[in-house]
Amino acid sequence: MSHQPLRLPPGRDIRLSDFDPGFHGGLDRADAEQETRHHCDALDELAYRLYAEAKRAVVVVLQGIDTSGKDGAIRMLASGISPQCLDVRSFKAPSAVELAHDFLWRIHAAVPAHGRIGVFNRSHYEDVIVVRVRKLAPPHVWKARYDQINAFEKLLADGGLTFVKCFLHISRKEQRERLEDRLRDPRKQWKLGPDDLADRERWDDFQAAYDDALTKCNTEHAPWHIVPADRKWYRNLVVARLVRETLERLDPRFPPFDSTLLTRLT
C-alpha cells in the first residue's frame, strides 16, 4: 500500500481493521529518524513562540492499547520541546476522589494553560474504552459519554485549545512481541501486570470500543489521527509531523514590544 489516510472526514465510519499498523509510507528508518529530528528542532522554536504569545494552547492526546508506544512518543516530543513549555500528564485508574466527580473533572484540571503544550498519556477516552471493555460502568453511562466528550472538547476548542488526537495503532502480533520483551527484560517487567495480559485476551473488544470512540468523537474541532505504530520510528515521525503542522498553522506571534522600554534602561 503506497498511501493510507491519517484521518477520515467526520461522520465516516472508522474501522481499525481498514488501517495497516505496519504502514511506513515507503520510508526507511534512517531517513525517518533524520526527518523527525528536523521536526523536533522546529518544534522547539514554535513551542517557544506559543509560550511567549500565551494566548492559546495545544494538547496532544495519546491513546492506544498497552505497548502501543505512548511513552516512546512522549520521549520523542520531550527531546525537542523545552520542559518549560511542556505539561505531560498520565491518566491511570481514577482515585477515590476522582471517582467522586464526573469523569471529565480530572481531565479539565489537567488541560494546559495558554502558552503551553500538554501531552495526555491516556485521557478521557479511557472512560469509553477500558470502562466499557472491563465493564466498570453500565452501558447507559459510557454510551452517554461520546456526546459529553464532543461537547467538552468543543468548549475547550472555543477557548483556544487545539487538539492533536493520536491513536497509536499496533497489530496483535506486534503487541505480543512487545509484551514478550517486557516479560523478559528486568528493566521493563515492572510495566506489566495481570490486567495487561487480561486486556490482551479482550483484543477484539478493545478494537471494537476504539472503532466506536474514533468514529463518534472524530469532529471538525478535534479530529482523530490513526498513527501506524508497528514501527517506532514511523510512529515518531507521524506524531512529530502532526504536532509541527499544528503549531505552524497556529503561527504563534511574540507579543508586541513596548519600545519606550529602550529609553528606560539605566
Interaction site with ligand AMP (CB under 6 A)? 66, 91-94, 122, 126-127, 130-131, 136, 195
Measured from the CB atom, the residue of 89 and 241 that comes closer to ligand AMP is: 89
CA distance 218 to 14: 9
Q: Quick one: 32 or 62, whose CB is closer to ligand AMP?
A: 62
Q: Is residue 153 part of the contact set for Mg ion (CB under 5 A)?
A: no
- When CB distances are held under 5 to 8 angstroms depending on the partner's kind, the choice from ligand AMP, Mg ion, none that residue 136 binds is ligand AMP
Nearer to ligand AMP by Cβ, of 57 and 128: the residue is 128
Tell me the three cell numbers of residue 35: 526527518
Q: Which residues contact 219 (CB under 8 A, 6 or more apart)?
A: 10, 150, 153, 154
188 exposure class (CB count in 10 Å sphere: 0-12, 13-18, 19+) = middle
Q: Which does 232 bind (CB under 5 to 8 A by kind): ligand AMP, Mg ion, none?
A: none
131 makes contact, choosing from ligand AMP, Mg ion, none, with CB < 5 to 8 Å by partner type, with ligand AMP
Closest approach of ligand AMP to the CB of residue 182, in Å: 11
Q: Give me the DSSP letters along 11-37.
A: TSPP-GGGS-TT--TT--HHHHHHHHH
Adjacent-strand bridge partners of 61: 120, 165
Instruction: Determine which residue in the list 39, 51, 60, 66 makes contact with Mg ion, applying CB under 5 A.
Output: 66
94, interface contact from Mg ion, ligand AMP, none, CB < 5-8 Å by kind: ligand AMP
Residue with cell 529530528: 37
Does 199 help bind Mg ion (rule: CB under 5 A)? no
HSE-CB of 25 using CA atoms within 13 angstroms? 14
Quick check: helix, strand or coil at residue 89?
Answer: strand
Residue closer to ligand AMP by CB (options 42, 192) is 192
Residue 48 or residue 91: which is nearer to ligand AMP going by CB? 91
Taking CB atoms, the residue at the shortest distance from Mg ion is 66
Tell me which of Mg ion, ligand AMP, none is bound by residue 130, counting a contact when its beta carbon lies within the kind-specific cut-off of 5 to 8 angstroms.
ligand AMP
Contacts of 85 (CB under 8 A, 6+ apart): 47, 48, 50, 51, 115, 116, 117
- Residue 177 contact partner, candidates ligand AMP, Mg ion, none, CB within 5 to 8 A by sort of partner: none
Number of residues located near Mg ion, criterion CB under 5 A: 1
Element (H, E) at 166: strand 161-169
Shortest distance (Å) from residue 36 CB to ligand AMP:
23
Gap between the Cα atoms of 7 and 21, Å rounded: 14
* Residue ranges that bind Mg ion, judged by CB under 5 A: 66
